Structure 1
Amino acid sequence: MKVREMPIEARPREKALTYGLKALTDYELIALILRSGYQGMSVISLAQEVLKRFPLDKLNNISIDELMSIKGIKEAKALELLVCFELSKRTSLYIGKREDVISNPTALLNFIKSEIGSLSNEQFLVVCLNTKNVIIKYKVMFVGTVDVTVVHPRDIFKFAIENNATRIICAHNHPSGDTSPSKQDLDITKVLKKTGEMVGIPLLDHVIVSNSQVYSILGCLNQ
């Protein structure tokens, strides 16, 4: 059914204006961004196809080429969608920067998940914090399987020192979705903890993330 054939109160734009954006489904929000479909497919159906191909937890990390692989989405529409996803990621970072991430760990963990949780390869993220536990800088420093031969503590703490960090949090993702730590994960955490104590920049935690899960390695080691 075309949008103009829908009852006025059921159309995404009118529904948003009447009840607010929170009243819209995920595909209705995407339909508002897309604005139009193509001959034979309404914008509602096109938005549903986007979510069918790329579930919500994958959208933050898809490429413009992946979006354009969907019939009816050309460069302009793909770019508009990516702009919205990027703003969402930056909002998470802004919240993390403004709030005490230790008293509000949810803000930090949501930010970390939005950065690397949905990626198809392992990436190791280092987050630098100041004395108020606010994010100063963050960077993906290593890509690939996390072990002591790939993750170099000297590079991590060099990055921390260069950015005047007083403490750090490390994180990496498990593309499989299973956040259980491997022996290599535990080993590198022990090395980072010891190195942090030596240089005076403590490791607050090393977390493993997936689309929906988070595991605290340091919390496990301290039990």
Structure 2
Amino acid sequence: MTMDKQLMMKELPAAERPREKLLAKGAQALSNAELLAILLRTGTKNIPVNRLAEQLLAKYELAGLASISPPELSKTTGIGLVKAVTLVAGIELGRRLNQREPGQRPIIRSPQDAADLVMPELRYQTKEHFMALLLSTKNHVIARAIISVGSLNASIVHPRELFREAISYSAAAVILVHNHPSGDPTPSQEDISLTKQLVEAGNLLAIFVLDHVIIGDGKYVSFKEKGII
């Protein structure tokens, strides 16, 4: 029985094994689970690698995997710290490649554009994620940078962390984004105070804060639309 379990992947038809399928048909032909299985390389004694990949996607979804830390990911059965680091590194490389493709960079023309861009990633997070959309002079999104991850209802952001990212990407402007795990995007007084602090810091650096968008469950609040900025 033990030998059977170890050979479960090998017993699949060659065309269905992720590595062989990638070589034969290209990476684009693989599902998300198959690509994850290649990064994971092996499963456990009781869970084959393809099933482990499917369980990860069911638990976190692809957007969730893009924002989870290796220590947190390694708490999943069958995912040690080495596998967690490998997954996070692979996903980050893909994200950076996408961010640096000029023809594919989204343009932010309205608060709705910003909300639509991050809603799939942030609406189901159980902790506050504070993110910055780093923009070019023509409002192309150069990068999406997670500045901090907080508790259930609070994240801590310092201006130097935000603008260090903006400077490193030579951003002309930023849009602040964070989620409310409660699903209610109504800004708190702390949200308003923090935003004003970051706007003032941005003005000094000539990296302008154009908006702050709070993401709820399928809805958002824009500080620009509310006249707060």
Q: Same fold (TM over 0.5)?
A: yes
Percentage of matched positions with identical amino acids = 30
> How much does 1:182 deviate?
4.0
More helix by share: 1
Preserved contact between residue 126 and residue 171 of structure 1 (Cα < 8 Å):
yes
The alpha-carbon deviation at position 189 of structure 1 amounts to 9.8
Q: Identify which of 31, 40, 53 aligns with 1:34.
A: 40
**Shift in Å, 1:60:** 1.5
Report the number of matched residues: 214
**For structure 1, which segment, 10-19 or 88-97, has the greater mean C-alpha deviation from structure 2 after superposition?**
88-97
Partner of 2:31: 25
Q: Does 1:79 align with 2:85?
A: yes
Q: CA-to-partner distance for each residue in 1:95-123, whole Å, 9 max, x for gaps?
A: 47984633699996687568866643324
**Aligned-pair distance for 1:59?**
0.9
Aligned-residue RMSD, C-alpha: 4.8
Deviation at 1:173, TM superposition (A): 1.3
The alignment status of 1:181 with 2:154, answered yes or no, reads no
Residue segments in structure 1 that go unaligned for 5+ positions in a row? none
Separation in structure 2 between the aligned mates of residue 219 and residue 15 of structure 1, nearest angstrom: 48
The answer on whether the counterparts of 2:114 and 2:213 sit within 8 Å (CA) in structure 1 is: no
Any residues of structure 2 matched to 1:144-163 within 5 Å, and which? Answer: 155=159, 159=163, 163=167
Cα offset, 1:62, TM superposition: 2.2
In 2, Cα distance between equivalents of 1:27 and 1:139: 25
Distance 1:80 1:130, change over 3 A: closer
Instruction: Report the alpha carbon displacement of residue 9 of structure 1 after superposing the two structures with TM.
Output: 2.2
Aligned counterparts, 1:5-20, within 5 A: 5-20=11-26
> Who is 2:147 aligned against?
140
Q: Look up the match of 1:50.
A: 56
After superposition, where does 1:72-221 map in structure 2 within 5 Å? 72-95=78-101, 99=105, 101-102=107-108, 112=118, 119-127=125-133, 129-134=135-140, 135=142, 140=147, 155=159, 159=163, 163=167, 167-176=173-182, 178=183, 180-182=185-187, 184=189, 203-209=209-215, 213=218, 215=220, 217-218=222-223, 220-221=225-226
**1-side partners of 2:117 and 2:102: how far apart?**
7
TM-score, reference length from structure 1: 0.64
Rounded to whole Å, the distance in 1 between the matches of 2:149 and 2:13 is: 52
* Distance (Å, rounded) in 1 between the aligned partners of 2:219 and 2:102: 17
